[in-house]
Amino acid sequence: MRLIVPLRGVVQGRGGLFVGSLIPCCIFYCLQLYLKRRSPPPPPDSDSPRTSSPSTASPVGLSPRAVPLTEPLVSQYYIGLERAKTDPYDRISNKDGIIQLGLAESTMCFDLLTRWMSDNLMDSLMMKINEGEFDIRRIAMYQPFEGLWELKVAFADFMSRIMGGNVYFDPSNMVIIAGGNPAIEVLAFSLVDHGNAILVPSPYYSGFDRDIKFRTGVELIPVHTRSSENFTVTVSALEQALNEASKRGRKVSAILFSNPSNPVGNIMSRETLHDILKFAQEKNIHIISDEIFAGSVYGDKEFVSMAEVANSSECDKSRVHIIYGLSKDFSLPGFRAAVIYSFHQDVVSAAKKLVRFSSVPVPVQRILVSLLSDTRFVEEYLAAHRERIRDKHVRFVDGLKRLGIPCAESGGGLYCWVDMSGLLTSYSEKGELDLFERLLSVAKINATPGTAFYCVEPGWFRCCFTALADEDIPMVMGRIKKLTEPSRS
């Protein structure tokens, strides 16, 4: 009773409506807040009713968040890969088949790998304990999911080696993980909350979408770069993208990029890396540097790891996280072997927990310990890999040049970034997709169009050349040439 009296008084005086409604409104609002905090939070991405609704008629459904996973992937990256699989080129058995330039894999040094495996595979897997008796325990039994310590040491040494010995990697900052895909997912989950965002300089590798969006609920925001700057990202572009995200209420928690860039193949300069680190420091966000092509550098430009920049900077390096793996530089995608390297001890701890879902089987770890520790072979392999990639790149780019087709300036990666805008029937996304289709059906080549990488300029295509035999390059050029000639139909 006493509580109501003052209100009544105010209501009946001057300004009665305003104050007389404000106070009960506040009470009503607080009541709602109280009730809201007591109720359980709603599930994210869910439109389903919260109570179980027995229904014997309709078949049981998936969780709403998994429903998109039942649909086919629509990017031209996947469409091209699948199309090429339906009619794959083979020099002997299917000469008119589709040539796969869509997959970044390399067969260039399989002669060396075959030799090493023939000589060492058995010994690396099965160590003899007594006279002639193998020890099955070292491959069959449980081992720490985060990876064998010996493998971390070997990986750290190998990474340092391919990066010119300019950076030391501490094995205790490392988690061994079954490929780049889970490495990216684990970092996205650990650094960025559901509904928050990551800035990604574009054109960027299509796989980032899949690896991050399938489960983590994190948004990727492309930060467009231009051919006029050879697709190099600037801090002002990052700043602008972050501000625009903030305006629409999106919190940006990280920057993700591949270096050497996938699909362009350009290498980030030390200065650019410093600028990005400084920017990340200012905004208090993370950096994920995907350096999976670090050992596939063929130009004159030096590759610099973000780890090296972090070590030499005054910035807080705990925001820097590196991804590396053996699928590209060691041509072993079938081995599913990668690492997360983080300067943040909590990120290492979280990754150690999550890697139980993405651990590398012990037999594969044993093979890799032997392989990466064989420094004589590693040096021989790396030298051959670089020499052969340089040679193959020259052959491929020269072939295109003779057709009047230029490539972006690049220094690493298993591909080149080809400017086919001269072959477009219209300078637009539609024109690019038409060319993609003509490449597949007329030239019988699967090259991935820029649209799949969020490139804003039409006509750019990624062509992976490291699984091509030298003798097939002229044929690829001959096929592309068909599209440069006026149609005779």
CA 371, CA 377: separation in Å to the nearest integer?
A: 8
Please identify, among the stretches 179-187, 269-277, 297-305, 473-481, the one whose residues bind a copy of itself according to the rule CB under 8 A.
179-187
Q: Is 19 exposed, middle or buried (0-12, 13-18, 19+ CB in 10 A)?
A: middle
Q: Least Å distance between CB 18 and a copy of itself?
A: 9
- Would you count residue 137 as binding a copy of itself (CB under 8 A)? yes
- Would you count residue 286 as binding a copy of itself (CB under 8 A)? yes
Among residues 163 and 242, whose Cβ is nearest to a copy of itself? Answer: 242
- Would you count residue 221 as binding a copy of itself (CB under 8 A)? no
- Would you count residue 15 as binding a copy of itself (CB under 8 A)? no
- Would you count residue 141 as binding a copy of itself (CB under 8 A)? yes
Residue 263's nearest CA partner among 469, 464, 466 is 464
In the list 34, 35, 52, 74, the residue contacting a copy of itself (rule: CB under 8 A) is 52
CA 4, CA 10: separation in Å to the nearest integer?
A: 10
- Would you count residue 130 as binding a copy of itself (CB under 8 A)? no
- Would you count residue 217 as binding a copy of itself (CB under 8 A)? yes
Residue 45's nearest CA partner among 76, 67, 77, 23 is 67
Among residues 105 and 457, whose Cβ is nearest to a copy of itself? Answer: 105
Q: Least Å distance between CB 322 and a copy of itself?
A: 15
Q: What are phi and psi of 177, to 5 degrees?
A: -145, 150
x-or-dash pattern for a copy of itself, window 345-364, by CB under 8 A? -xx-xx--xx-xxxxxxxxx
> How many other CB atoms are found less than 10 A from the CB of residue 90?
9
Among residues 336 and 393, whose Cβ is nearest to a copy of itself? Answer: 336
* Subset of 61-80 contacting a copy of itself (CB under 8 A): 62-67, 69-70
In the list 83, 152, 328, 344, the residue contacting a copy of itself (rule: CB under 8 A) is 344
Output the CA torsion sign for 293, 245, 233, 166.
negative
- Would you count residue 337 as binding a copy of itself (CB under 8 A)? yes
Please identify, among the stretches 209-217, 378-386, 406-414, 429-437, the one whose residues bind a copy of itself according to the rule CB under 8 A.
209-217
CA 185, CA 377: separation in Å to the nearest integer?
A: 32
In the list 30, 110, 269, 270, the residue contacting a copy of itself (rule: CB under 8 A) is 110
Among residues 23 and 384, whose Cβ is nearest to a copy of itself? Answer: 23
Among residues 258 and 421, whose Cβ is nearest to a copy of itself? Answer: 258
- Would you count residue 199 as binding a copy of itself (CB under 8 A)? no
In the list 89, 155, 158, 189, the residue contacting a copy of itself (rule: CB under 8 A) is 189
Output the CA torsion sign for 354, 172, 372, 211.
positive
**DSSP code, position 90:** B
Q: How far is CA 378 from CA 114, 122, 153, 191, 413, in A?
A: 14, 19, 15, 34, 19
In the list 79, 108, 139, 455, the residue contacting a copy of itself (rule: CB under 8 A) is 139
Among residues 167 and 371, whose Cβ is nearest to a copy of itself? Answer: 371
Could you give the residue numbers annotated as active site? 205, 290, 292, 328
- Would you count residue 367 as binding a copy of itself (CB under 8 A)? yes
- Would you count residue 51 as binding a copy of itself (CB under 8 A)? yes
Residue 470's nearest CA partner among 111, 107, 112 is 107
Among residues 210 and 479, whose Cβ is nearest to a copy of itself? Answer: 210
- Would you count residue 339 as binding a copy of itself (CB under 8 A)? no
Residue 378's nearest CA partner among 179, 171, 159 is 159
**DSSP code, position 200:** E
The size of the chain, in residues, is 489
Q: Least Å distance between CB 351 and a copy of itself?
A: 8
CA 161, CA 260: separation in Å to the nearest integer?
A: 16
In the list 37, 74, 96, 118, the residue contacting a copy of itself (rule: CB under 8 A) is 118
> For residues 214-237, b (16+ Cβ closer than 10 Å) or e, as one string?
eebbbbbbbbebebeeebbbbeeb
* Subset of 226-285 contacting a copy of itself (CB under 8 A): 242, 246, 248-253, 281-285
Q: What are phi and psi of 134, to 5 degrees?
A: -85, 155
- Would you count residue 88 as binding a copy of itself (CB under 8 A)? no
Among residues 302 and 470, whose Cβ is nearest to a copy of itself? Answer: 470
**CB-facing half-sphere around the CA of 350: CA atoms within 13 A:** 16
Instruction: For the chain, state the CA radius of gyration.
Output: 27
* Subset of 448-467 contacting a copy of itself (CB under 8 A): none
